[in-house]
Structure 1
Amino acid sequence: MRLFLTASCLAISLAGFPAIAQTTQVPNSAPQPQPIVDIVPEARDIAFPGVMSIEVDATDVERAIFSVKQTIPVPPEALAAGRFTVLYPQWLPGNHAPRGEIEKVVGLTFTANGKPLTWQRDSLDVNAFHVTVPAGARDIVANFQFVSPTASNQGRVVMAPKMMNLRWNNVALYPAGYFARNIPVDATVTWPAGWQAGSAMRAKRTTGAKIAYERVDFDTLVDSPMFAGAHFKSWSLSDKVTLNVVADAPEFLAATPEQIEHHKRLVSEAENLFGVRHYDRYDFLLSLSDEMSGIGIEHHRSSENGVGTGYFTDWAKGPGSRYLLPHEMTHSWNGKHRRPQGIWAPDFRTPSRDDLLWVYEGQTQFWGYVLGARSGLFSFQETLDAFANIAAGLDRRTGRSWRPLIDTAHDPIISARRPKAWASWQRSEDYYNEGMLVWLEADQIIRRESGNTKSLQDFAQSFFGGRDGDWGVVTYELTDVVAALNAVQPYDWQGFLQRRVYEVTDEAPKQGLVLGGYELVYETEPSAYIRASEAASGGSDFSHSIGLIVDKDGKISQVMWGSPAFDAGMTVGDQITGVGGRDYSGEMLKTAVASTSQGGKVELLVKRGKRYRETTLSYTGGLRYPALRKIGQGETGLDRLLAPQTR
């Protein structure tokens, strides 16, 4: 039944109620914040009373599970309090962000004297565990599993059928309240039968497949990952440096003497560059795999390097990933021995302040390419082509108009390397490559101002040098960098860095190329470097023409902000299915783009989800690929920089 009221009836019906304006409103509830109390003990620079032991069973290759038993002595103050706090590493060196995989730690139990103990995860720091310890307990025993990823969508795959990457931060807890460098550890690993392992750590005892390693402090343990595999080979590169390689199959280990010679020259060039060795030994750990995920992480006496299977066997196809080892070895000096104060931390709970990553990573990127050229891992022309590609790519970063280089140093924390739809406008971790261009310019300024008597190598030896064999850590701030540059060559370095690093700009800092005797130009044919890169990926790069990077199946992986493709409404994830009325292919699209120099059009059929649309790009520039053209006479500054320094 419907109820209808006339206006007069409604007025009568409301007459018995007080006026709305006279109603007193009840105030909303409004809580007040309570103080946040951190009950995890703060790290102190004192000796830990005892020695931890860690036993890792790494034999469950089929299910990619590491099983761990860890014994941790209970400090007197924890015993007195009845509560002992242990931590899982969260802020990992070289990641510049909180990347600890706490979600993969399962089956965690604690016992003392064989009896189970209760524990509670800290509600403020989920990587901290408060364990109730009984009177008289000398130590606690933790048992757990680290269930490593079995597919890439779960994280980095670290265990494959024929190899693995054992990272101690994944399989170890440590006591709160102590600097990591003051906690001694005895570590043991049981490997699959017949496997060999490489690491900066050395075995002190071997019992079948079970290996007990030399005692180290917890900081060194986390800094000493291991690569192990059924197909393993090592080469001595010097009296202190070893190249350890694991592969999916033995044929991928077929390195030629010439290839190994280039790696030996890398070591000699690096040690000549810095003048001292900040290691008692150094182990390259290199995996050649299509099954285990790739990686590039620096450590003080080793580096984790994961590339595809063709590192040796496809050598003639181009430099590929050969920039990786020079970069990571450089970090032994820049990033590990000399480290920004904000990045060094007493434990793995302290957050990283990444402001100086343009030095830590940017100058490492610079020396990585220089050492690659000097050692022959990259040819001179391949290095020039790489510089051209980098400089041109950074020029497409229109986001520099609102976001200065210094702000990209926070990207490891802000975006955690998640994919970006509009990377050219958002910017990414540009402190690597743009930092490299900044340091290239600094090198050329020093050469010019000193009349070619000095270079950035003088800075490298004074700033990253020090005592030979010292693999401790020496921290620095920005003022130290400026002072060291001025000690090498007086100049307005503070102003230079202010403009290049801390202010927004219209274009990438390419002046170092010009001072070095080269200029960035665009040609209609790709360089051998670009062709090799496209062949390896199967995709096509139209960044500098229509503003697209396209995968081999026509799916768009990048759209440059403000480009013709952007103006046409195209975006990441779109798929080009047709070009000029015919099925898509990379070559077909290149032909269409090339024709625009003669007044043609780029007509595309684009799929997004289940919908198709016809799109015409407004563009008339033809194909454009970056290259460097020499503008100086004779031997230029860039020529001198890349020339071998040792024989």
Structure 2
Amino acid sequence: MANSFKAPALLVALLVTASTLPAHAQVQPATNTKPMAVPIVRQVPDPEDKPFPGTIRLDIDATDVTRGAYRVTETIPVPPGATRLTLLYPQWLPGNHGPRGPLSELADVRFTAGGKVLTWTRDPVEVYAFHVDVPAGTSAIEARMVHTSPLRDSEGRVTMTREMLNLQWEKMSLYPAGHYVRQIRVQPTVAVPDGWTVFTALDGKKQTGNRVSWDVTDYETLVDSPIFAGLHAQRFFLGNSVWLDAIADKPELLAIKPENLATYRALVDEGLALYGAKHFDHYDLLLALTDRMGGIGLEHHRSSENQYEPRTWIDWAANDWDRNVIPHEFSHSWDGKFRRPAKLWTPDYRQPMQDNLLWVYEGQDQFWGYVLAARSGVQTKDTVLGMLANNAGLFTQYPGREWRSVEDTTHDPVFAARKPKPFSSLARNEEYYTEGALVWLEADQIIRQGTAGKKGLDDFAKAFFGIRDGDWGVVPYEFEDVVSTLNGVFPYDWASFLKTRIQTPGQPAPLGGIERGGYKLVWKAEPNPFDKARAADSKALSLYHSIGVTIDKDGKVTSCRWDSAAFKAGVVSGVQIVAVNGLTYDQDTLKQAITAAKTDAAGGAKPLDLTIRRDDRVTTVSIDYHDGLRWPWLERAAPGTAPTGLDILLSPKRTTR
């Protein structure tokens, strides 16, 4: 029987058409197109140690305190025969340990020559570079731009208020590519509001009205010599060519008592006694007493930028916690500026810095900041012990130490850019500062015990940082130099010691220096002097060592320790605590509830229930924690009054004036 099926007419037509198409036009199997990489073309010349011809004139108008705008005019010589000039905005900034140049704050950039507008392009690979086309025969070009200082903290660090400013030259200038920055000459001038006083370490100050200029200097020294200026200002001589230059929100905030000012004079004496040499011809401790301009602590060779809370001088005892920044930054003139890790010194601000040895640069400097503060009286010994306890206690409950070494945290400034992290206890932060300091404390106590108290890390400081008295250049070092100098002070397996504690994760909590120094870490239900004073100032509550959270003055959780009791209950950053065991939240209610939830002698305990709000949802969670309130303290390990190794370390060493 014949097949009676008939194909639809349209299908028949399509089949006939397809069969008559040329072979190359027929549908082919699908394939994915695979492109090849376009080669990256480098257009920015590498720096050479050769002079840039001529002198740059840099003129900054810093009078617009209402809008926080710095208006810049920069006149830049053009090398003979050049048809293009490549100008760089500083990216890798000394003391920042990462690419921090705030290029986004540089606006309205224009270039002219002989009154004519010049064409420029931004380098597509290195966006901090500007390529400027230069007409034949041009001897100089003029760059005009505006550096827009943030007006709110959410925009970045505020550097200008109606009462003061902090001018950092690298934030508002360009420099020619192809040269070491020490080979670029600059003539700086700044206009400030009428009646303001200007402080800086630059030499040759000349002032006419509100315009201030200085001697021609090199760009490296310029960048290393920032300005603090303000309406309310006072300068104090501390001896040994060191000055304390203070500006404040209000004039009454500058009223430091003579006995308190004397601690800064003692700080200078202690620093010089420690290092045994001076690596500056003069030095300015620049200090802002403010909560309007952004906080800062930044080292320079002949100056440092420092910020205190506004009432730190006039409420001296209450603000003892706030004064460590000056001892820390002053010490950096030796440790970090004069002696610097070889890969942290760079010929310009384009070459990346390598941070591996920041546990010496910053870690040992953190150690000396604590020691010099206690020796001088800028901070009390109890506060310094509280800071050490705070650091030590942190590292007993810090899961990030299991997978990440101290040395690996030295790379944090590069890729994390100091932004907040969801769980910093797991991710780790820049603990090369604080854990580094505790490692150096252990090194000090090993030397003291091994030499029967005849030597300590002071001897390393003199041998390593105190060389070449009067030299304020840079002497670089490598890991082997550190180990060699330590062995010269006291023979020991320092290479293994440092590699284990610094380069190896999963180490025990760094308590060796505390315990060798005759102290022990203990836990109390009240905060130590440092924690107590800091909390009183911020109005925040740290329960990090108990339920595992910190809480701001409004009851919002600002951080949560990974794997803590609060973490396990689902309390995380951003959560608002509404109630505690059915009662409206306040700090005292929460602390009382934590105490009440502590396991009693019979093994019983009251519940700890928190009502929390996260976004639009309100829930009640139970916190399974029964160890009470806990804050870290350092206490003498044995009774008695004879000074321990740690006591001796923190005691004054200078000869009284």
Which of 589, 603, 606 matches 2:612? Answer: 606
Once the two structures are superposed, what CA deviation does each residue of 1:21-41 show, in whole Å capped at 9, x if it has no partner?
Answer: x97424322111132221111
Instruction: Give distance in 2, aligned partners of 1:601 and 1:16.
Output: 79
> Is residue 402 of structure 2 the alignment partner of residue 368 of structure 1?
no
Instruction: Give distance in 2, aligned partners of 1:600 and 1:425.
Output: 30
Q: Secondary structure at the match of 2:320?
A: coil
Determine if contact 2:375/2:653 at 8 Å carries over to the other structure: yes
Determine if contact 2:321/2:383 at 8 Å carries over to the other structure: no
Which of 32, 39, 45 matches 2:43? Answer: 39
Determine if contact 1:318/1:529 at 8 Å carries over to the other structure: no
Q: Secondary structure at the match of 2:317?
A: helix
Equivalence for 2:126: 125
Determine if contact 1:576/1:584 at 8 Å carries over to the other structure: yes
Equivalence for 1:495: 496
Instruction: Give distance in 1, aligned partners of 2:610 and 2:430.
Output: 32
CA spacing shift, 1:9–1:154, aligned 2, 3 Å:
farther
Q: Secondary structure at the match of 1:348?
A: coil
Equivalence for 1:393: 394
Determine if contact 1:397/1:423 at 8 Å carries over to the other structure: no
In structure 1, runs of 5+ residues without a counterpart are 1-6
Q: TM-score, normalised by structure 2?
A: 0.94
In structure 2, runs of 5+ residues without a counterpart are 20-25
Instruction: Give distance in 2, aligned partners of 1:139 and 1:279.
Output: 34
Deviates more, 1:169-178 or 1:624-633: 624-633
Which of 626, 630, 635 matches 1:629? Answer: 635
Once the two structures are superposed, what CA deviation does each residue of 1:447-482 show, in whole Å capped at 9, x if it has no partner?
Answer: 111221111111111111112221100111111111
Equivalence for 1:50: 54
Cα offset for 1:528?
2.6
CA spacing shift, 1:24–1:236, aligned 2, 3 Å:
same
Instruction: Give distance in 1, aligned partners of 2:134 and 2:28.
Output: 56
Which of 631, 641, 645 matches 2:649? Answer: 641
Instruction: Give distance in 2, aligned partners of 1:35 and 1:464.
Output: 45
Determine if contact 2:296/2:305 at 8 Å carries over to the other structure: yes
Determine if contact 1:434/1:508 at 8 Å carries over to the other structure: no
Once the two structures are superposed, what CA deviation does each residue of 1:272-315 show, in whole Å capped at 9, x if it has no partner?
Answer: 10000110010011111121111111111000112220110121
Instruction: Give distance in 1, aligned partners of 2:118 and 2:301.
Output: 37
Determine if contact 2:539/2:552 at 8 Å carries over to the other structure: yes
Instruction: Give distance in 2, aligned partners of 1:405 and 1:323.
Output: 22
Cα offset for 1:204?
3.6
Output the amino acid matched with 1:635. Answer: P
Cα offset for 1:16?
4.7
Once the two structures are superposed, what CA deviation does each residue of 1:111-159 show, in whole Å capped at 9, x if it has no partner?
Answer: 2222221111111111111111111111111111111111111111000
> Is residue 282 of structure 2 the alignment partner of residue 281 of structure 1?
yes
Equivalence for 2:506: 505
Equivalence for 1:252: 253
Instruction: Give distance in 2, aligned partners of 1:128 and 1:90.
Output: 10
Once the two structures are superposed, what CA deviation does each residue of 1:97-119 show, in whole Å capped at 9, x if it has no partner?
Answer: 11111111111111222222111
CA spacing shift, 1:203–1:211, aligned 2, 3 Å:
farther
Output the amino acid matched with 1:621. Answer: D
Determine if contact 1:203/1:211 at 8 Å carries over to the other structure: no
Cα offset for 1:260?
0.6
CA spacing shift, 1:204–1:399, aligned 2, 3 Å:
closer
Equivalence for 2:331: 330
Residues 104-123 of structure 1 aligned to structure 2 (within 5 Å): 104-123=105-124
Instruction: Give distance in 1, aligned partners of 2:97 and 2:538.
Output: 28
Q: Secondary structure at the match of 1:317?
A: coil
Residues 68-83 of structure 1 aligned to structure 2 (within 5 Å): 68-76=72-80, 79-80=81-82, 82-83=83-84
Equivalence for 2:23: none
Output the amino acid matched with 1:259. Answer: N
Determine if contact 1:299/1:331 at 8 Å carries over to the other structure: yes
Equivalence for 2:482: 481
Cα offset for 1:211?
1.0
Once the two structures are superposed, what CA deviation does each residue of 1:401-433 show, in whole Å capped at 9, x if it has no partner?
Answer: 111111111111121111111011111011100
Instruction: Give distance in 2, aligned partners of 1:60 and 1:385.
Output: 43
Determine if contact 1:375/1:644 at 8 Å carries over to the other structure: yes
Residues 15-414 of structure 1 aligned to structure 2 (within 5 Å): 16=15, 24-76=28-80, 79-80=81-82, 82-414=83-415
Q: Secondary structure at the match of 1:315?
A: coil
Q: TM-score, normalised by structure 1?
A: 0.96
Once the two structures are superposed, what CA deviation does each residue of 1:376-406 show, in whole Å capped at 9, x if it has no partner?
Answer: 1121222112111111012222111111111
CA spacing shift, 1:210–1:618, aligned 2, 3 Å:
same
Instruction: Give distance in 1, aligned partners of 2:606 and 2:450.
Output: 49
Cα offset for 1:325?
0.1
Instruction: Give distance in 2, aligned partners of 1:102 and 1:548.
Output: 36
CA spacing shift, 1:581–1:174, aligned 2, 3 Å:
same
Cα offset for 1:550?
0.9
Output the amino acid matched with 2:76. Answer: I
Output the amino acid matched with 2:624. Answer: S
Deviates more, 1:180-189 or 1:502-511: 502-511
Cα offset for 1:320?
2.5
Output the amino acid matched with 1:584. Answer: Y
Determine if contact 2:611/2:618 at 8 Å carries over to the other structure: yes
Cα offset for 1:9?
8.5
Instruction: Give distance in 1, aligned partners of 2:218 and 2:464.
Output: 27
Q: Secondary structure at the match of 1:327?
A: helix
Identity %: 46
CA spacing shift, 1:239–1:28, aligned 2, 3 Å:
same
Output the amino acid matched with 2:400. Answer: G
Q: Secondary structure at the match of 1:143?
A: strand
Please provide the CA RMSD for this pair: 1.8
Cα offset for 1:8?
11
